[in-house]
């Protein structure tokens, strides 16, 4: 019996020793696949790659900025930060200095998007994002805003972002609410906005005509108000779109009764 207990105790000790050894081996294996990120600021990208290669890390130049503290071509910042432990094969992203800002930000306002891009690249700058807006009061297909602004100084990056007004064929309008308003006013506002007066019908089933000799129709100059409209208020419409109305006679004020 004692011999059996002794063998059982020995077996338990061996199991514990095996588990501890396995855990130690796993920890060493995990740490063996990690590396500490070195400091790369001030190095050129080629030098940084040489420093990362023995550690099993990769270099990725993510952006380039104007920076007066570092000469052109030197690394300004990095991610992960120096001293961080990462897995082997990790990409270290860096930003590279373009030196102090020397290029003057040109004004491309009023130019077409293509002409603005040529002007920007001619100055050694880059075209950033281009956003499109719909402003009917301004000419279409031209730059109406830019960032940084013309002649800006202390610019961080060499990209110029543009705000372009859409071509006239793509300009849209938000349909106003004409319900309850006189038909004559609605027709005048449509014409001013570049829209067309479409079919006009009467709630009283009488036709509507602009011919003053048509006595069986409601004249467009007759005091009437809009009862329904199509497209509906708030809809987006393109230039030249037709707007249809259903109208009703405008209530006339009752004459004052004579004083007794």
What is the per-residue pLDDT for 17?
A: 64
Instruction: Identify which of 99, 110, 220 has the alpha carbon closest to the alpha carbon of residue 158.
Output: 99
What is the per-residue pLDDT for 37?
A: 94
β-pairing verdict for 85-87 and 142-147: unpaired
What is the per-residue pLDDT for 10?
A: 67
What is the per-residue pLDDT for 193?
A: 76
Sketch out the chain's domains with CATH numbers: 32-99 (3.30.10.20), 113-170 (3.30.10), 173-249 (3.30.10.20)
CA distance 63 to 102: 18
What is the per-residue pLDDT for 20?
A: 61
Residue with tokens 């030098």: 47
Q: What pTM was estimated for this model as a whole?
A: 0.45
What is the per-residue pLDDT for 234?
A: 83
What is the per-residue pLDDT for 221?
A: 52
DSSP 105: -
DSSP of 54-89, one letter per residue? Answer: GGT-EEEEEEEE--SSS-TTSEEEEESPTT-EEETT
What is the per-residue pLDDT for 32?
A: 52
CA distance 174 to 79: 46
CB–CB of 99/53 below 8 Å?
Answer: no
CA distance 63 to 74: 12
Instruction: Quote the tokens at residue 166.
Output: 């859409």
CB–CB of 105/149 below 8 Å?
Answer: yes
Q: Which residues pair with 87 in a beta bridge?
A: 34
List of the chain residues with pLDDT < 70: 1-7, 9-11, 13-18, 20-32, 168-172, 204-223, 250-260
């Amino acid at each position: 019996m004692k011999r059996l207990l002794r063998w059982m105790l020995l077996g338990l000790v061996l199991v514990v020793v095996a588990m501890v050894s396995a855990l130690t081996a796993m920890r060493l294996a995990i740490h063996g696949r990690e590396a500490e990120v070195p400091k790369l600021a001030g190095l050129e990208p080629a030098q940084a790659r040489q420093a990362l290669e023995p550690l099993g890390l990769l270099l990725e130049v993510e952006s380039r900025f104007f920076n007066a503290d570092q000469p052109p071509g030197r690394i300004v910042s990095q991610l992960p930060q120096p001293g961080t432990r990462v897995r082997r094969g990790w990409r270290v992203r860096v930003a590279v200095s373009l030196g102090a800002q020397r290029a003057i930000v040109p004004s491309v306002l009023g130019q077409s998007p293509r002409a603005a891009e040529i002007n920007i690249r001619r100055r050694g700058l880059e075209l950033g994002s281009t956003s499109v807006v719909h402003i009917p009061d301004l000419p279409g297909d031209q730059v109406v805003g830019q960032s940084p602004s013309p002649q800006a100084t202390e610019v961080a990056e060499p990209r110029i972002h543009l705000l372009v007004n859409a071509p006239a064929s793509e300009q849209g309008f938000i349909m106003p609410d004409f319900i309850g308003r006189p038909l004559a006013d609605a027709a005048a506002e449509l014409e001013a906005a570049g829209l067309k007066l479409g079919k006009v019908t009467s709630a009283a089933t009488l036709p509507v005509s602009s011919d003053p000799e048509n006595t069986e129709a409601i004249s467009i100059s007759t005091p009437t108000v809009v009862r329904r409209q199509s497209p509906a208020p708030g809809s987006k419409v393109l230039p030249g779109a037709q707007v249809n109305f259903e109208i009703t006679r405008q209530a006339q004020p009752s004459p004052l009764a004579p004083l007794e």
